[in-house]
Amino acid sequence: MRYNVQESETRWQKIWADKKSFLAVEDKSRPKYYVLSMLPYPSGRIHMGHVRNYTLGDVVARYKRACGFNVLHPMGWDAFGLPAENAARERKIHPATWTYDNIKNMRAELVRMGLSIDWTREFATCDVTYYKHQQKLFLDFLKAGFVYQKEAWANWDPVDHTVLANEQVIDGKGWRSGAPVEKRKLSQWFFKITTYAEELLGALEGLDRWPEKVRLMQENWIGKSSGARFMFALADDSKQSDDTQPKDIEIFTTRPDTLFGASFIAISPHHPLAAALAKNDKKLAAFIATCDRTSTSEVAIETAEKHGYDTGLKARHVFDQSWKLPVYVANFVLMDYGTGAIFGCPAHDLRDLEFALKYKLPVKPVVLPPDKTAETFKIDKEPYLGNGTIFNSDFLNGLDVEAAKQAAINKIQSLKAGQGTTLFRLRDWCISRQRYWGCPIPIIHCESCGAVPVPEKDLPVKLPDDVLFDKPGNPLEHHPHWKNVSCPKCAKPARRETDTCDTFVDSSWYFARYCSANLADKPLDRHQVDYWLPVDQYVGGVEHAILHLLYSRFFTRAMHATGHVGVDEPFAGLFTQGMICHESYKDKDGKWLYPEEVEKMPNGQATEIKTGEAVTVGRSETMSKSKKNVVDPGQIIDSYGADTARLFMLSDSPPERDLEWTDAGIDGAWRYLNRLWRMVAEPPIALPPIGTPRPQNFAAKTETIIRLIHRTIADVSSDFERFHFNRAVARVRELSNALEEMNANDTESAWVLREGLETLARLINPMLPHIAEEMWKLLGHKIMLVETPWPKADPALLIEDTVTIAVQVNGKLRATITLPRDLDAKKAEALALADSNVRRALEGKTAKKIIVVPNKIINVVA
């Protein structure tokens, strides 16, 4: 007999659905646990990354459920976005049709994975019933001051008539059109994420169940730096281009302690002063134009080379009005950071040093390293960045770097030239997208009233269905009448905002919406949200380490401020899984081949099945459609079943690391599934009926098995708690190996075997839910495993009476001895020394020192 996977898996899936096994209902009497896998984009098919992601989430959900938690484990669709519009353009399918068809297919695939999801809470972010609430949140945020509109530079694709995200600009060209991207100033909507910059940074520390790596990435992204901003006055005798030219330059620095080492001022090519000067300086205008050109296309290559243009202007040093510094326009100074102007201190900054060496500017050290003397210390090709004592610096002399920073800031403030300040790298979040398939921004533009929020009673602002994708640009803009409305304030003819929201907005609150997914009249129900939030365990890919997670953290704070939720942090625990990798194959013409088009030889060579020609085998790398090194989960589940796929995902590789897909691995998982089934379908010993009382005594061999059963319960439980699923699988396999070897046909052994098999079924249940239920049923149980609590290890059976102790002589293992547990150190010592191997290793020498670590090791030093 063989295990009939397909029959069994579809049967259990139906039973779970019929019994509503995974329906989540608020229940104050039980602790809640919210498990969430990252929202999938409905591309049409699930891929291996999804399988891994949802398997991990499902193991946690099923395990916590068995442990007595009231579990919420929902699923939905991140359904807005560009691919649907591309499909519409390329294949003349309406984005909605394309999206909902894809959702239907993918939902069916997810159901076949046997996930313990509460499907009653499912929604797609493109449902009007979802995005109308998002529009309400937008209006609330607007009222609370989290939203504003401003002119901002955007990457504009002149062929597709659309704005491109930075990652859609490749070598300065649009990723679809290939046309050189232009910088255009557009009026766009922003969320004020910078309001919370300090808090988003500070709260990272409290996210102790987040990967260190992700917290670090967010920390760097937010990029806090403290320093000072202050004015350098332009000297009177500087040449003046016209009256509109500013009289001073404001700079930002994190190193006010090095001010006495200043040798120049540099401003960005985009600085207003540069623009003013360029009006009467053709050479400068040309220089700025060169900077613009290199700044878009060849950023990576040009990074090293620094260029500057001496404006001829002089700036007076803040601390010494007689000291005049030259003012350069320099290509390495960014306009959108700080004030767009810096002072250069070559001795203590690499970039300033490069610049100074190139333009022969003075290099004057002002920080003396602890091991150097003032007379001999010189800066050559390397700036000195470390701590030290300030010298050559007037009133700062003798201070260390930190003290000097503070002293310099105090002085600047007393001079009324500026003040100490903190700067963040984090920018406000531009949410405007010039696209159709997104949530409309609920704003009406009126000639006389300006940007007017759509009144709440008029929500939702629905996307029109009758749109055409026959020409480039935003279909909402081209629609015959959708954008023509009357102003809600003055009733004059006005124009709807035709921008839609960035899809990151959709995914910034979906986790909260699941708590009251079917609520019609408002976005969230405070009681339900307060019960379920925060998400206890969030699972997804590292690729969202910054944007999605940071936006969600901001959104949650904004929702808190507007009274929609009661928490600041959406995700208490975060787990980021690794990618799925596979070898790639190329034919002789260099065209990629799918794995199923290739036959592998035992010697590692490969040939194309169709042609018989040799195939180049590439190294294993992340599965991607472009390289065709993908394996379709649907096909795997068809032939091996969901449990096999799930087991493969959990075995061997730790979940945070990349996983290599191999056919051998899936075969191994499949064989194990069959072994499990055979163990209960055809047990080696006849099993006693359920509820047979536990025998009083066991033979030593049987006792060992009993102890192993309980050891395994304890180990697997702690492995699950710590996301060590590969270890859990190993522990489970050890137990099944031991049970398979049982052959004594006595009543005690039979009892222990039943105990072992039942434990096995319960332990694998979170990972392999279908076969676990099947085994449980074969063992005669009427109550399903989904309703059966997690097994508890008997603490008495976890403690061994005897322990095996390693005996070392001079740090080298010479013997292992078995001793009663917690044996007195002196006695243990004596027994160790009596061991023949130990005596031989000592070669008659006497022990100088003996280290005894109870129940672990004895080291004899001779």
Query: 108 vs 798, which CB is nearer to RNA?
Result: 798
User: Closest CB to RNA among 152 and 561?
Assistant: 152
To the nearest whole angstrom, how small is the minimum distance from the Cβ of residue 703 to RNA? 18
Which residue's CB is nearer to RNA, number 264 or number 509?
A: 264
What contacts 24+ positions apart, CB below 8 Å, involve 145-148? 145/192, 146/191, 146/192, 146/195, 146/558, 146/561, 147/189, 147/190, 147/191, 147/192, 148/189, 148/190, 148/192, 148/428
In angstroms, give the least distance from the CB of 700 to RNA: 18
Nearer to RNA, 96 or 542 (CB): 542
Return contacts of 317-325, CB within 8 angstroms, 24+ apart. Answer: 317/232, 317/259, 317/262, 318/230, 318/231, 318/232, 318/259, 318/412, 318/415, 318/417, 318/418, 319/259, 319/260, 319/394, 319/411, 320/394, 321/233, 324/235, 325/232, 325/262, 325/263, 325/264, 325/265
Among candidate residues 733, 754, 730, the one with its CA nearest the CA of residue 676? 733
Residues contacting 422, CB < 8 A, separation 6+: 198, 224, 225, 226, 227
Cα–Cα distance measured from residue 267 to residue 622, given in angstroms and rounded to the nearest whole number: 43
For RNA, the closer of residues 539 and 728 by Cβ is 728
Q: How many Cβ atoms sit within 10 Å of the Cβ of residue 588?
A: 11
- Distant-in-sequence, close-in-space partners of 269: CB < 8 Å, separation ≥ 6: 287, 288, 291, 292, 329, 330, 331, 333, 335
* DSSP result, 670-713: HHHHHHHHHHHHS-SSPPPPTTPPPPS---HHHHHHHHHHHHHH
Q: Give the β-pairing of 537-541 and 574-577.
A: parallel
Q: Kindly list the distances between the CA atom of residue 295 and the CA atoms of 177, 744, 835, in Å, as whole numbers in the listed order.
A: 21, 78, 76
According to DSSP, residue 798 is labeled: H
How far CA 646 is from CA of 30, 666, 681, 836, in Å, comes to 29, 10, 22, 50
Closest separation in Å from C-beta 293 to RNA: 12
Give the CA-trace dihedral at 138, 144, 147, 149, to 10 degrees: 120
Minimum distance from CB of 219 to RNA (Å)?
A: 9
Beta-bridge mates of residue 575: 539
* Residues composing the chain: 862
The residue (of 300 and 686) whose beta carbon lies closer to RNA is: 300
Q: What are phi and psi of 486, to 5 degrees?
A: -100, 150
**Nearest distance in Å: CB 724, RNA:** 6
**Shortest Å, Cβ 82 to RNA:** 20
Closer residue to RNA (CB): 42 or 308: 308
Residue 279 or 671: the one with the smaller Cβ distance to RNA is 671
User: How would you classify residue 628: left for phi > 0, otherwise alpha for psi between -120 and 50, otherwise beta?
Assistant: left
Shortest distance, CB of residue 467 to RNA, whole angstroms? Answer: 34
The smaller minimum CB distance to RNA, of residues 299 and 490, is found at: 299
Report in angstroms how near the CB of residue 840 gets to RNA at its nearest: 7
Residue labelled with tokens 């055979």: 678
**DSSP string covering 741-755:** T----SHHHHHHHHH
Reference 134, options 191, 54, 180; nearest CA is 191
Nearest-approach distance from CB 397 to RNA, in angstroms: 21
Output DSSP code: residue 346: G
Indicate the residue among 36 and 353 with the shorter CB distance to RNA. 353
Tokens read off for 263: 């040798």
- Nearest to RNA of 588, 856 (CB atom): 856
Q: How far is the CB of 307 from RNA (least distance, A)?
A: 8
- Give the C-alpha distances (Å, rounded to integers) separating 779 from 322, 687, 774: 94, 9, 9
* CB of 557 vs RNA, minimal distance in Å: 23
The tokens of 80 are what? 């807005």
Containing 608, the helix (H) or strand (E) segment is strand 606-608
Min dist CB 783 to RNA, Å, is 30
Instruction: Report the Cα 503 to chain-centroid distance in Å.
Output: 17
Q: Which two tokens stand for residue 756?
A: 């072992």
Q: Please, which residue, 465 or 843, has the CB nearer to RNA? A: 843
**Which is closer to RNA, CB of 17 or CB of 813?**
813
Give 567 or 857: the residue with its C-beta nearer to RNA. Answer: 857
Question: Smallest gap, in angstroms, from Cβ of residue 273 to RNA?
Answer: 14
Tell me the closest approach of the beta carbon of residue 766 to RNA, in angstroms. 17
